[in-house]
A and B are shown apart, each in its own frame.
Chain A
Amino acid sequence: MFDEDDFQEEIRAHLEIAAAEREADGADPRSARLSSLKDFGNVSLTAEAARRVWIPRWIDAVLDQLRDARYAVRTLAKNPVFSLAVIAVLALGVGANTMVFTMLKSMALAPLSGIASSAQLGVVVNAASRTRTGGLSYHDYQFVRDHDRAFNGLAASGLTSANFGRGRGARPMYCELVSGNYFQVLGIRAERGRTFLPSDEIAPGRHPYAVLNDGFWRRDLAADPDILGKTIDINNFPLTIVGVADPSFHGTIVGYDTEVFVPLMMAPQLGVNVGSLEHTTTSDIFADRGAGVFDVLGRLRPGVTFANAGAQVDALSIALFQDAALADVGQHLRLVHIWESPFGGQTFLLPGLLVLGAMGLLVLGIACANIAGLVLVRGISRRGELAVRLALGATRARIVRLLVVENLVLAIPGAVLGMVLASYGLPLLVRSAEAMAAPQRLFFNVPLDRSLMAFAAFVALGSALAFGFVPALQSSRVDLVEAINEDASPRGASRGRLRAWLVVAQVAVSSILLVGAGLATRSVDAARRIYPGFDAGHTTAIEIDVRSNGYSDARGRVFYRRLLDALRGETGIESVTLASTTPLNLVGTREARVAIDGYAPRRDEDLSFQVNTIGPDYFRTLRIPLAAGRGFDDRDDENGRPVVVINRTFAERFWSGAAAAVGQRVKVGAGDWRTVVGVASDVKYSQVNEAPMPFIYMPFFQSYRANMIVHARGAAPVNVVVDQARERIAAIDPDLAFIHARPLDEATRGATVLFEFLSTMLLAFGTAGMVLAGMGTYGLVSYAARQSTHEIGIRMALGASAASVVRAFVARGLRLGAVGAAIGLFVAFAGARLLQGSLFGVSPADTVSYARALAIVIGGVALATLVPAWRAARTNPLRALRHQ
C-alpha cells in the first residue's frame, strides 16, 4: 500500500542528497537547497501521481466523476433558487408520473392480481348504445359460452355487496357470484381445498358452497387450518367452505377486493340486489334477459388475435339476437379489453388519471426545457472558462462530460425525491380510497415494483441527459481564439438561434401550463360555488340491510314502516325518509330500461336511465325543490296506484316541460305502467361535473328493497342526529347490523374528493410548472438581452436614444414571446378537450383562462427584456462598449 509519510520522507531525502551534491560542487547551502527544489518540480503533484498508482482504475474514474460533481454542486449552489426549483419540479414531475403510471399500469397493463397477463383477457359486453355498455344476462352468457370458438372458455361473474355473519355482528363485503368454470378459465389454483367446477353450475340453489379469498380467511377466520367443510353465513344463508383461493387472487373486478366467491346458481338464495330494477329475490336472474348483470371474460386461444375474436363475438351476437325476438332492439355483443369493461374502478378513475398523466408529462417537459436552458446559458457565460480548459488540453468529450455531470447533479436528487414522493403518495392515495369504501374492501394491483422505480429513474436521468446533452455539445464548441481574445461578438449565429428556439419553447410550454392552471382554478372556483341541487347538511346517511336478520320482504316492509313512524315521532328530527342510494355517489346507480307512453323510440335509441328508490318525504328531507306535482307520501304503497317521479331533464326531453309531464305514463323495467305524479329539480347524481341526465325515482313501498339508506334531518349537529337516529333504529331491532351510520356529507365526499383531488393536482402542477417556466423564460430572455450590452453601447455611441434602444430590444423579445405564446395557446386549445372530464363550469375553450395566460406570458417576457435592456441603455456607452 501507499505510505504517505514514508513517501514524504523519501522526497525530503531526495532533496537533501541533491542539495548536498550541489554544495559539494561549491554552491552555498541556500541556493543549493533552492535549486534542488526547483529541479524536483511540483512536490504535491508528484505525490498525487505516486498515490494514484495504487488506486484501481475504476475508483480513479469514480473519484474523477466525484470531483466533477463537487465542482457542479459548487457551481449550482451559486444559483440556489433556480437549482432547487429545477430539482423540485423534476421531483414533482417524476413523482406524479410514477404514481400516475403505476395506477395506469394497474388499470390497463396488469389490472388483475394473480392472473398471468391479465391485460390480455377479453371481456364480452352488451353494448346497448355506442357509449354505454353493460353485462350479459345469464341466458346470453350461456349462449356465447357454448358457441364461442375464440376463447379457452368464458367465465361469468357478478359483483355484489353481501353481508357476512348474522345480526349485529354482520359486516358488508364484496362477493362475486361466479360460473362453475370461473377458476379454471382464469387459471386460479386453490391454496386449500378446491375451487369450483362446471358441476357447481347445474341448478339454482343446489350449490351452497363458498371459496374464500386468502385475506378474508386470515383476517376474519384467523387462518383456521380446519376451515374446509365449515359453514359461513352470507346474507343469512349458510354456505359450506370448499376452498381458499390463491393468496394473490382478489377477484376479477378492478379496484374491488372480492372476499367470497359463490356459485352464481345461489343468487336467488342470497337474495342479491343485482341488475335491473325489479330486484331479484326469485330465480328471475336466470330467466330475465334484461338482467345484464354478468361480467363475461376469458382468455383468447393461442393464435387468435383480438380483432379475430372480436369478429367472432359480433357473429355470435347476430345469431343470438336473431333467434330471440327481443322487445328492445339495438342490443349487440362486443368484445372489449379489460380496461374498457363496464365493471370496476377503472370506469371512473381512468379519465382522471389520463389527465393527470398528461399534466405530469407537461411538468416534466418544462423541467427538461429549464435544464436545457440552464445548461446553455451557463455554457455561454462560461465560454471563457471552457476555452481555457480546451487550451490546457481538455478534450471536448471531457468538457461535455463535465456539463453532463452538472445535469446529473440536478437529476439524481430530482429522481430520488420523485421516487420518495411516489412511494409515499401512492399508498396514501390507495389508503384514502380504501377509507372511503370501508368497511368494504378495495384492492388495487399497485405494487411500487422495481420496474416503476426504474421508470422514474429513467425519466429523470433520461430527461436531464437528453435535454442537457445538446446544449452541452453546443457549449463545448468554443472557438478558442475568439473566446480568449474576448472581443468577438457574443452573438454567434447558431448559438443565438438555439437560444431563440429555447425562448420560444419555454414560452410555449409556459402558456400551455398557464392555460391548464387557469382552467383548473376557474373550475375549482366554480365547483366550490356550485349547489349540487340538494342540501347534505344536518342529514344522516344510515345504511342498513334487513337481510342480515333474515327478514322476508313482508317483514322488511313492516320493519321499514315502523322505522319511519318511530323517527317521525322523535323530537329534534324534522323529517325522515329512505333511499336506495345517496346523491353524488361517484359511481352512479343501477339503470332501468324505460318505455314512455306515446313515444316511439328511434332504432338504437338508448332508453335506460338511473333509478333511485325512495321513501315518502324524500324531497323535503334532502331539500330538493319540486318543479311540478308532488313527491311520494304514505298513500303510495302496495295498495296505491303505481306512480313515479322523474327529474326535470327527463320531463324536458320527452315532454314540453315539467308541468306537461305530470299525469303522463311511464313503464320502468318489466313492471306496470306508472303515472308521473311529480317532477323534481335536477341534482348532481354521481359526480360534480356530470352533464344533466334523465333520472327516475321509484316509491319504496311499491318497489321494495331490503337494503336502504335512512336520511333523517335535524337541527342539532349532524353527529348528534346520527347517534339519535341510530339508537332509535336499534331499539326497533337490537340485532340489526348497520352498514354505515354517518352524515350524508361524509357519504357524498367520495365524489367531491376525487374531483377536488384532480383539480388540486392540476392546480399544483400548473402553478409549479408556471413558476418554473416563468423563471426559466426570464432567465433566458434577460440573459439574451444582457449579452447585447455591447450592441447597445454601439447603438448609443452612434447616437441612438436610450428609449429607442430599449424599444428595439423589447420588440425583439416580444417577437419571440409572441411566436412561443401562439404555439403554446394553439397546443393548449387542441389539448384542452382532454381536460373536459375533469373540468366543471368552465368550457375547455374558456376565453378568460386563455387571455389570462397570454397576458402573464407576454408581460413576463416584456419585463424580462425591459429590465436588462434599460440597465444597459442607462450605462455610459463607453462602459457598455468596454463591457466585453
Chain B
Amino acid sequence: MTLHTRDARPDLLPGTLDMLILRTLQWGPQHGYAIGQTIRAQSSEVLQVEAGSLYPALQRLSKKGWVTAKWGQTDANQRAKFYRLTIEGKQQLLREQSRWTELVDAIARIMTPAGEPETER
C-alpha cells in the first residue's frame, strides 16, 4: 500500500487515499502539498501521505474526472496547482463515505461484539 501510518504498517484498505483526498477537497480547492498537510493535521499526525503516493493518486482522480486542476497563487503568493472537486467527484465522495461508514460499522461489530465488555482482559 501507498499510504503509510506512522508505525509503518502499510495495510490501509485500497482506495482509502483517494477517498481522503476527495474529502479534503470538499472544503475548497487545494494544491498537492496542502492536501498532504491537511490529511496529516486532521489525522493528528497519524497518517502521512508520501508525495510518491499523493501525486499518482491525484492523476488517477483527474483521469476519472473527479477533480480538475488549475494553476493559481497561494496565500503566500507562490505559484501552485490547485485541485477542485467536480460534480462527479462530489457524488463519488458521497458514495465512498456511505460505503466507508458501512465498512467501519461492520468491522466494529466484529471487533467489539455486543455484550462483551470492552476492557476485560
Contact = CB atoms under 8 A, between A and B. Distances in A.
Nearest to B48: A39
Counting chain A residues whose Cβ lies within 8 A of the other chain, the interface size class is: 20 to 34
Given A10-B32, A53-B63, A17 B78 contact: yes
Given A52-B56, A53-B59, A53-B60, A14 B78 contact: no
Contacts of A9: 81
Interface in A206-224: none
Interface stretch (A40-48, A81-89, A455-463): A40-48
A58 interface: no
B51 A13 contact: no
Contacts of A41: 50-52
A45 B52 contact: yes
Contacts of A50: 55-56, 58-59
Rank and list the top 5 A-B pairs by shortest CB-CB distance, nearest first.
A49-B56, A53-B59, A46-B52, A40-B51, A50-B59
Given A40-B51, A41-B50, A13 B59 contact: no
B52 A13 contact: no
Interface of B: 31-34, 50-52, 55-56, 58-60, 63, 74, 76, 78-81
Nearest to A9: B81
B102 to A, nearest CB: 28
Interface string A14-49: 101110100000000000000000011110011101
Contacts of A39: 51
Contacts, number: 59
Contact of B33 (A14, A45, A52): A14
Nearest to A40: B51
B32 to A, nearest CB: 5
A45 B56 CA distance: 10
Contacts of B33: 13-14, 17-18
A286 B32 CA distance: 101
6 contacts: A14-B51, A20-B76, A41-B51, A45-B52, A49-B56, A50-B59
Contacts of B79: 13
A11 interface: yes
Nearest to B62: A53
Contacts of A7: 55
Interface string A808-829: 0000000000000000000000
Nearest to B80: A13
B52 A10 contact: no
A2 interface: yes
A599 interface: no
A41 B34 CA distance: 17
Nearest to A12: B79
Interface in A37-95: 39-42, 45-47, 49-50, 52-54
A49 B81 contact: no
Nearest to B2: A49
Given A50-B59, A53-B63, 19 more contacts: A2-B59, A7-B55, A10-B81, A11-B55, A13-B33, A13-B80, A14-B51, A17-B31, A17-B74, A17-B80, A18-B33, A20-B76, A39-B51, A41-B51, A41-B52, A42-B52, A47-B55, A50-B56, A53-B60
A47 B52 CA distance: 8
A343 to B, nearest CB: 70
Contacts of B60: 53
A18 B78 CA distance: 11
Given A13-B81, A17-B80, A49 B52 contact: yes
Nearest to B61: A53
Given A10-B81, A13-B80, A49-B52, A54 B31 contact: no
A18 B32 CA distance: 11
Contacts of B59: 2, 50, 53-54
Contacts of A18: 33
B66 to A, nearest CB: 13
Contacts of B63: 53-54
Contact of B56 (A11, A16, A40, A53): A53
Contact of A13 (B31, B50, B58): B31
A4 to B, nearest CB: 12
A17 B80 CA distance: 8
A17 B60 CA distance: 23
B56 A13 contact: no
Nearest to A6: B81
A46 B55 contact: yes
A6 B32 CA distance: 13
A52 B79 CA distance: 26
A50 B61 CA distance: 11
A242 B34 CA distance: 93
Nearest to B50: A41
Contacts of A49: 52, 55-56
B32 A20 contact: no
A52 B60 CA distance: 10
Contacts of B31: 13-14, 17
A50 B81 CA distance: 15
A581 to B, nearest CB: 81
Given A10-B32, A53-B63, A46 B80 contact: no
B78 A20 contact: yes
Nearest to A10: B81
B20 to A, nearest CB: 17
A68 to B, nearest CB: 23
A508 to B, nearest CB: 53
A11 B74 CA distance: 15
Tell me which of B33, B59, B74, B81 has the highest count of chain A C-beta atoms within 10 A of its own C-beta: B33
Contact of A14 (B32, B56, B76): B32
Tell me which of A14, A18, A39, A40 has the highest count of chain B C-beta atoms within 10 A of its own C-beta: A14
Nearest to B54: A46
A40 B60 CA distance: 19
A50 B60 CA distance: 8
A95 to B, nearest CB: 47
Interface string A680-692: 0000000000000
Contacts of A20: 76, 78
Contacts of B74: 17
Tell me which of B51, B56, B78 has the highest count of chain A C-beta atoms within 10 A of its own C-beta: B51
Nearest to A41: B52
Contacts of B55: 7, 10-11, 46-47, 49-50
Tell me which of A9, A41, A46 has the highest count of chain B C-beta atoms within 10 A of its own C-beta: A46
Contacts of B32: 10, 14
Nearest to A2: B59
A11 B55 CA distance: 9
Tell me which of B32, B50, B56 has the highest count of chain A C-beta atoms within 10 A of its own C-beta: B56
Contacts of B56: 46, 49-50, 52-53
Contacts of A17: 31, 33-34, 74, 76, 78, 80
Contacts of B58: 50
A2 B62 CA distance: 10
Interface string A106-131: 00000000000000000000000000
Contacts of A53: 56, 59-60, 63
A39 B74 CA distance: 21
Contacts of A16: 78
A53 B32 CA distance: 17
Nearest to B51: A40
A9 B55 CA distance: 13
A49 B57 CA distance: 9
Nearest to A54: B63
Nearest to A16: B78
Contacts of B76: 17, 20
A39 B4 CA distance: 13
Nearest to A48: B56
Contacts of A11: 51, 55
Nearest to B58: A50
A530 to B, nearest CB: 78
B58 to A, nearest CB: 8
A24 to B, nearest CB: 8
Tell me which of A7, A50, A52 has the highest count of chain B C-beta atoms within 10 A of its own C-beta: A50
Nearest to B32: A14
